[in-house]
Amino acid sequence: MSSLETTTQDLPMAKAINAGLRKSLTDSDRVLLMGEDIGTLGGVFRVTEGLKAEFGENRVLDSPLAESGIVGTAIGLAMRGFRPVVEIQFDGFVYPAFNQITSQLAKITNRGRGNQSMPVVIRVPYGGHIGAIEHHQESPEAYFAHTAGLRVVSPSTPNDAYWMIQEAIDSNDPVMFFEPKSRYWPKGPVDFSASAAPLHASRIVRTGTDATLVGHGAMVSMLLQAAEIAAGEGISLEVIDLRSLSPIDYAPILSSVTKTGRLIVCQESAGFVSVGSEIAATVAERAFYSLQAPVIRVSGFDVPFPAAKVETFFLPDADRILEAVDRALAY
């Protein structure tokens, strides 16, 4: 790539992550990619396309088909000084690795009294909107955000995806990296010159004064859509992209709520014991006197992710978000 005029490029998120992975693979020969079908095929979403050909089969591993095995061996490789980046093929297939992630990956640093860092990234394409069969549209972030020792992040734009994957790989802690798969294809500008924010910073992506909307991943585009519609009706909504689900960067959220007095937390996952519940509770504890309405959660229902033909009734969209905004403004 030749210098200044090409520092920004329009890319779909899948290609932005690919570029980020390529950069990390180039920068450090300790970085390895592991996963099912990620080599020759380039992954079922083609996120790792071309990387095996470029870096070889000892850097980009077409692993045997066993999620616990992939994460467990990634842990061993990290002990050896490698920085493995694991791809879980789909959200619903992360559970066979749950034990290795929560009881081992998350805890080895603590168990080892800080003498054994665990620089492992677990990429999980997650979420709905793609009309797929069972186990291919879930949002399991809360399980991992609940587990101490893990960091959990989720980009919403190609630019963040490009930078955040590299920052996650640079982190000496294990990072669960949730990729909103419905956002793999839309293009967005990627600025190759500098990251927009640190890995664990939340970010105001639209300013407003009447209420604050918070979400992550694919939900951010829904929030922006809702804010645009609301603006047409004279309602000014502030939108915050969480980016990091553990730890959560509360400062921008709290100062926004101090300004707007109203908070609507939106997510694709079921609402019960969710990241949104956690944010609602924390904001109620810390910004009680600023609130002019209860914090409202807009979530998927507390059912298994439904059959694709009815997924649009499950997934929060701009209308569901605006319905919650109306309720908040009615207080």
Partner 1 sequence: MVEESPTVQILSTDGTFQPSAAAEEYLPLLDSLTHADHEQFYRDMAVIRRFDLECTNLQRQGQMALWPPSHGQEAAQVGSARASKPQDHIFPSYREHVVAKIRGVDIFGIVELMRGSTLGGWDANDAANGNFHGYTLVLGTQTLHATGYAMGIKFDGDIGTGDADRDAAVMVYFGDGSTSEGDVNEAMVFAASYQTPQVFFLQNNQWAISVPVSTQSRIPLYLRPRGFGIPSVQVDGNDVLASFAVTAKHLGDARNGLGPSFIEALTYRIGAHTTSDDPSRYQTDEQLAYWVARDPILRFEAYLRSQGAGDDFFADVTQEAEDFAADIRRRTLAAAPVAPASMFTNVYSEPHPVMDEQKAWLEKYEASFGEGNR
H helices present in the chain, as ranges: 13-27, 51-55, 67-79, 98-99, 108-111, 141-145, 158-170, 219-232, 250-260, 275-286, 311-314, 318-329
94 contacts 67 by C-beta, under 8 angstroms: yes
117 contacts 111 by C-beta, under 8 angstroms: no
Residue 247 within binding range of partner 1, rule CB under 8 A: yes
End-to-end CA distance of the chain: 54
Q: Which of residues 108-147 bind partner 1 (CB under 8 A)?
A: 108-119
Q: 136 catalytic, yes or no?
A: yes
Q: Which of 172, 207, 209, 292 binds partner 1 (CB under 8 A)?
A: 172
99 or 209: CB nearest partner 1: 99
Residue 198 C-beta: closest distance to partner 1, Å = 11
Residue 219 within binding range of partner 1, rule CB under 8 A: no
Residue 187 within binding range of partner 1, rule CB under 8 A: no
Residue 195 within binding range of partner 1, rule CB under 8 A: no
H helices present in 93-238, as ranges: 98-99, 108-111, 141-145, 158-170, 219-232
Q: Which of 16, 31, 60, 74 binds partner 1 (CB under 8 A)?
A: 74
How many other CB atoms are there within 10 angstroms of residue 250's CB atom? 15
Catalytic residue among 136, 146, 200, 216, which? 136
3-state helix, strand, coil in the chain (%, to 5): 40, 20, 40
Query: Taking the mean position of all CA atoms in its chain, how far away is CA 215?
Result: 10
Q: Which of 24, 48, 100, 221 binds partner 1 (CB under 8 A)?
A: 100
Residue 73 within binding range of partner 1, rule CB under 8 A: yes
Helix (H) / strand (E) element for 166: namely helix 158-170
By rule CB under 8 A, what string of x and - marks binding of each residue 31-70 to partner 1? -x-------------------------x----xx-x-xx-
Residue 285 within binding range of partner 1, rule CB under 8 A: no
Residue 149 within binding range of partner 1, rule CB under 8 A: yes
Helix (H) / strand (E) element for 11: namely strand 8-12
Residue 234 within binding range of partner 1, rule CB under 8 A: no
- Token code pair at residue 252: 């921008």
34 or 296: CB nearest partner 1: 34
Residue 80 within binding range of partner 1, rule CB under 8 A: yes
For the residues of 297-309, what is the DSSP string, one character each?
EEEE-SSSPPPGG
What are the angstrom distances between the C-alpha of 177 and each of 111, 166, 240? 23, 11, 19
Q: What pairing do the DSSP bridges indicate for beta strands 263-270 and 211-215?
A: parallel
Residue 107 within binding range of partner 1, rule CB under 8 A: yes
166 or 182: CB nearest partner 1: 166
Residue 269 within binding range of partner 1, rule CB under 8 A: no
In eight-state DSSP terms, residue 103 is I
192 or 250: CB nearest partner 1: 250
Residue count, binding to partner 1 (CB under 8 A):
44
Q: Using CB under 8 A as the criterion, which residues of the chain lie in contact with partner 1 when the complex forms?
A: 32, 58, 63-64, 66, 68-69, 71-82, 96, 99-100, 103-104, 107-119, 148-149, 151, 171-173, 247
Catalytic residue set: 136
